[in-house]
Each structure stands twice: as C-alpha cells, then as structure tokens.
Structure 1
Amino acid sequence: MVEKVLEVKDLKINFNTYGGKVQAIRDISFDLYKGETLAIVGESGSGKSVTTRAIMGLLANNSEIEQGSITFKGQNLIGLTEHEWTKIRGFDIAMIFQDPMTSLDPTMKIGQQIAEPLIKHRGLSKKQAWAKALDMMKLVGIPNAEAHIKDYPHQFSGGMRQRIVIAIALIANPTILIADEPTTALDVTIQAQILHIMKKLQAEIDTSIIFITHDLGVVAGIANRVAVMYAGQIVEIGTTDEVFNFPQHPYTWGLLNSMPTIETEKGELEAIPGTPPDLLEPPKGDPFAARNKFALEVDEKMKPPFFKLSDTHFAATWLLDERAPEVEPPLEVRKRWAKYQAKHPEADRRKAVAVEFNAVLGSEDNL
C-alpha cells in the first residue's frame, strides 16, 4: 500500500476582476502518493499554476475558493492563517518557481538563502545550517561550492541559479515538492541536468513531486502519472504510459500530435486550432468542444463524465460513451495505440465505463 500524501477534492477557485468572476479552477480532484511524480500539463491559462499556488497557500488577494478541500497529513489546508502556513510552506511543502532570478533575494548571499529554512524550521544554528547548505550546493552540482557560498545571485548563470532554487526547496527534506515549469528558460543540456538532479534527490529523500509544465518531452522522462488540464478542469489522468501511448481525450491527442518524436516525418505536426474558452463565461458542455473536430452534439449541451479505462486511467470525453460513433484519431495517436495494445491486449476503449465526475482520480496500484 502506497501512502497518500495529498488529496485535492472538488476544488473550485474564482478570481474577482473588474470584468467579472473568472472561474479559473472548475471542480478538480486528484491524489498524490509518496515518492511519485505527478505531472500536470496543459496550455497557458489552463489552471496548472493556480492549482499549485492553492496547495502552497499563495493565491492572489482577489481569489476565492468557492468549494473543495486540499488535505495534507489529515489537515485541510484551505482556510489556514498565514501564521499556520509559515509552519508548512518551505518545510513540509516547498516550491521551485519558474524564474530563478525573481525567486532569489538579490541582496542576500546564496548560502544564507539556502540555510534559512533550516534555521527557521529546524532550529539549527547558523554554523550548522551553512554547513548543510554547502553540502546541498555540492549535491545539486554547483562546482567549487566552498568558493561560491558567499556569492550573490547575479554572480551565477541561469542554470546555476536554478540549481540554487532547487537547493533551497529541498534543503528541509519536504514531503511535497512543487516544480512550476522549472526548466522553461534553460537550454536542453542544462534542462537535462536539472531533471537528473531532481530525480536523484527525490530518490534520496523520498519526496513527492508535482511537476507543472507544457513540455510533454520533459514529462515523459520524469513523471509516474500525468494529469491533462484544460480550461480549469482535468480532462484526462493516468500513468505516463497510459496518457502518452493510449490517450483518449481529443485535447490530449492534439497535444501529442503537435509534439515531434524521432519517428515524426516531415509535415506531420499539427497545431490545435482556435483558442481556449473565456472563463468569465465558461461553456456549458465540454470546454474543448469549439476546438474539437471530433465534437458531438452532446458536447455543446452537457459536460462529459469521467470514463474509466483502467484503475489508473480516466478521461472526460463523450467519445468513450457506448452510444458515440467511432472516430479516427490522428495518425500519430493511432501509431501509439497500436504499440500500446500490442503490449496490453486487455486495453479496449470500447469497455470504458462512466464513473462519478468527482470521483477521486488516483490509485496506489501500479505506481
């Protein structure tokens, strides 16, 4: 039995603006298990970062959590005071932010910034904390760490600054690490090094990671499970193998069909047409219907339930309903299906069963 470390259930988050109420997160549920990496993917504006900022208690002042719960160690994090959050944030739950330059204090020495969580949360002396900060700098691959521990952020390159941000997030051995597009601004060589460091440290301290990204190539190399978000909702969730090689939602098809692989031939990539819906007035039915060439009449009228394809794989699309017509997904998706079904003969989308929309979308099985 794998331990569940986080449960997000029926979460709805709005933002009050001059233009009206933006329904940014619309009824999402998922679990996170000990030692696993859950990737949340989707276009900009799909709700990935809002979800994780709610888990960190860092939502903007104009936000409103309409309903739902975020349970960590048996405690609902929604409604905690800032004083209560200071005991959790940076200690039990830590975050790697997108831009390392704006995440670091330009007036503080690097060693001080890495050591601060240990002084604040673990009560270590400055000498003890700085010694551990030096060890962590070496662990994340900063060369000649002894000579650079008293340097300032501007004296480091972008890749080195990102390593420092990772060191700060992991120094207190958090139960949960949230990585919000931590490799977006880095070149592919440094990106690979950063991902290797994260996986290595995760194995050593057994932390659970929520990895936010729009880069499916990164997801394939780091995640155990993948949740695909669109317009503030999770539309598909499953193991990385299931979502990448047996995808069922047309939005997931579009994401994969726009991503090159070593087998991609010239002219095969396609962009998803159109733009995401306005969340001031979200669609009544499937939010992806307006951009979906496979959309059915029911997609305009009713939000699809989740259909269960396996104990770990769920997708919210009417195409899985037994009454839906057979459609032919893009060639790249059909190739993935063929390879997956050759290895998993039991996989059959026609046997998908509708389940309660707000069912907890996760299973400790097969992690």
Structure 2
Amino acid sequence: MNKVLEVNDLSVSFNTYSGEVQAVRGIDFDLKRGETLAIVGESGSGKSVTTKAITQLLPKPQGYIKTGQILFEGEDITNYSNKQMQKLRGKDISTVFQDPMTSLNPTMKVGKQIAEGLIKHRKMSKSQARDKTIELLELVGIPQAEKRINQYPHQFSGGMRQRAVVAIALACNPKVLIADEPTTALDVTIQAQILELMKEIQREMDSAIIFITHDLGVVANVADRVAVMYAGKIVEIGTADDIFYNPKHPYTWGLLGSMPTLDSDEEELYAIPGSPPDMLNPPEGDAFAPRNRFALEIDTKMEPPMFQVSDTHYAATWLLHEHAPQIDPPESVQRRMQGFASMDEGKDGED
C-alpha cells in the first residue's frame, strides 16, 4: 500500500497565560491508502490536537506547530497557506467530528450543507449536486432522502445527524478521512451502525481513516493499526493484533485492563491510578512513571526510546531494554488478551 500521509517529528504547543502547553511532543506515524489507523489514549493525551495540526484547524495564534513535517501524498503541507488548505480540506482530507450539532449549521437545510462541497470542490451544477446529495444520504442509510434534503438538522435524530455529517465528509471522495470520536454521543446500537457504515464506505472508496477514540472496544472492530498516545507522545504503535495480543507498554496494559467484558466476573474495573501530567511542565524521564507500578529507577531520569518489538510493533518503555527485569502484564490484562483470542476463534468458526 502507498503512503498517503506521513507525520515526522511533529510537536504542537499552545501559548497560554500560564506558559507553553506542550500538547504534542515529537510524534511519528504514517497512513497507507485503504488503511485505518486508530489513535487511542485518555483525554488530554494529544489525539485530537494531532489531527487538528494535520488539517491546520488549530486555534490561532495560541496553537502552533513547533517542529515537524506533515507530508500528504509526498508533499509537505506543514506551511500551507489557509487558501491552500481550503482546497485540501473537504476535498482530499475530511473530518467527522464528535458532536454533529456543532458540525451542522442549524439555520441551513441538510441537503444544502452536503451540496456545498460538491459544488465548490467537484464543480457540479446545482441539479447534479442535488442528485448526488440524495445518493449520499441513501448511502449513509438515511431513509426518504429526497424528502430529508429539505429538512433542518433539528428535524433529524442524533444518529441521523451523525450520518449526515459522514455524508458531508464523504461527498468529495476524500483520500484521508479523520473520524474524531464520531460515535461518543450515540447509543450503542447507532454506534455500531455508524462504525459498520464507515467500514463499508472505506472498502468502496479505498479511503484511509484516522480514527480518534478513547474506547479500545471500538478500536478492536475498526483498526488495522493502533497508536497509543500518552502525554503528547506515541508510547506504543503496532497492528491491532500487536496491541491486543502482545501489548508491551504499561499504559497500554492499563487501557486494556480497564475495558469491560461480557464474561468478566470482576466486581469492578481496573482504573489507572493518578492523573495525566501537567503539560506546562512535562516530567523528566517517562511521563507515565508516576502512575506506573512497574516503573524502574531509570524511568524517572531518562525518557525511553522506541524499542522495536517486531517489524510492525514498537513501544517506548524501559521494560524492553535487554537488562530490564522480565515483567508480564497483570492478570486482568492477560484475561482480556485471552478473551480477544477466544472471540477471534469464534469468528473463525463461524466463517
């Protein structure tokens, strides 16, 4: 697969009255055509800021790219002007945001909001855009599309509004679709429908997807690869199998251990102790060390490099150093890993 997006040594900061908030600190990843990369982590880990930097939607002048390079189809877009980015946004890189009510204009009919991009980026006539809008609404599963194009967002249910936002994002066949917590505000049934819809559309259009979420249960169903972020850094990255069956970073263990399962007989879920660090003054060494019961002495003094676990799997933890003690994931995490394996065996059996 060809790389459609490359992010190299990206750092993003915000100037505040209290000082510089280092929201993203030197991250690297790439995205291939037709691939889904999930970026996971707690609130404040830098997930959404990363994608806002890619699309240059950071609040300015407070937010800015401090260092790094963003390549779209091999071309550096880091210093693109607003006019250049307007040509990319919507046409080649689209975003589905978390709350459809803030993404849709409440004073404009839904059909017109979808048609705008078709007229601007694909140079369609109004009648062509209308026909394509109806087709898109049908594609995302909205019934009576010909009638719905003349309705306003408040006349749509929450699930239908999110489907409409997906239709807007897909209108110009984007090469990269950024889905920023697109199902958080929806109930479980609608959530599953939206995720299945995005997978179907991806297969049809061969788009690449960056999926931002804090829910590892969602990731298991949609991602090809997973990047785990903590305190503005990617602390582990690998295929979905790498992360779910062979996690190496204690923070990833914590995220997996806090996942609810249907067959769990535990009275309460595991919770990662403490809170994420203050990014005004990031700690020395491994930022996760104060919350990590497996932390080594070196964790408080020196930041770990990315250790290679396999050709597809990397993790930034001193536990992977050749002289580190052998520490296995906690039992709660091992049970989750066994549960994922059992689920996959069940799926294979059905096939």
TM-score (norm 2): 0.95
What is the correspondence of 1:195-344 to structure 2 with a 5 Å cutoff?
Answer: 195-267=195-267, 269-335=269-335
> Structure 2 CA distance, aligned partners of 1:109 and 1:268?
46
Q: What CA deviation, in whole Å up to 9, does each residue of 1:231-290 have, x standing for no partner?
A: 000000001111011100000000000001233222362100000001101011000000
> Structure 1 CA distance, aligned partners of 2:12 and 2:279?
11
What is aligned with 1:90? 90
How far the C-alpha of 1:74 sits from its partner, in A, is: 1.9
What is aligned with 1:364? none
What is aligned with 1:39? 38
Residues 97 and 340 of structure 1: is their aligned pair in 2 closer, same or farther, counting only changes over 3 Å? closer
What is aligned with 2:74? 74
What is aligned with 1:27? 26
8 Å CA contact 1:16, 1:63 repeated in 2: yes
What is aligned with 2:59? 60
TM-score (norm 1): 0.91
What is the correspondence of 1:138-217 to structure 2 with a 5 Å cutoff?
Answer: 138-217=138-217
Q: Give the residue type in structure 2 aligned to 1:67.
A: T
> Structure 1 CA distance, aligned partners of 2:121 and 2:340?
46
Q: What CA deviation, in whole Å up to 9, does each residue of 1:56-79 have, x standing for no partner?
A: 110111112111000002211111
Q: Give the residue type in structure 1 aligned to 2:56.
A: G
Secondary structure at 1:87's aligned position in 2? helix
What is the correspondence of 1:345-360 to structure 2 with a 5 Å cutoff?
Answer: none
> Structure 2 CA distance, aligned partners of 1:84 and 1:4?
21
What is aligned with 1:101? 101
Gaps of at least 5 residues in structure 2 are: 343-351
> Structure 1 CA distance, aligned partners of 2:177 and 2:127?
26
Q: Give the residue type in structure 2 aligned to 1:120.
A: K
> Structure 1 CA distance, aligned partners of 2:336 and 2:314?
17
* Count of residue pairs the alignment pairs up: 341
Secondary structure at 1:165's aligned position in 2? helix
Residues 341 and 204 of structure 1: is their aligned pair in 2 closer, same or farther, counting only changes over 3 Å? closer
> Structure 1 CA distance, aligned partners of 2:249 and 2:8?
22
Secondary structure at 1:117's aligned position in 2? helix
8 Å CA contact 1:308, 1:315 repeated in 2: yes
Gaps of at least 5 residues in structure 1 are: 343-367
**Which is further off, 245-254 or 59-68?**
59-68
> Structure 2 CA distance, aligned partners of 1:338 and 1:213?
23
How far the C-alpha of 1:337 sits from its partner, in A, is: 5.8
Residues 327 and 84 of structure 1: is their aligned pair in 2 closer, same or farther, counting only changes over 3 Å? same
Secondary structure at 1:269's aligned position in 2? coil
Secondary structure at 1:196's aligned position in 2? helix
Q: What CA deviation, in whole Å up to 9, does each residue of 1:293-339 have, x standing for no partner?
A: 00000000000011111111000000011111122421032345678
**Which is further off, 58-67 or 274-283?**
58-67
How far the C-alpha of 1:229 sits from its partner, in A, is: 0.2
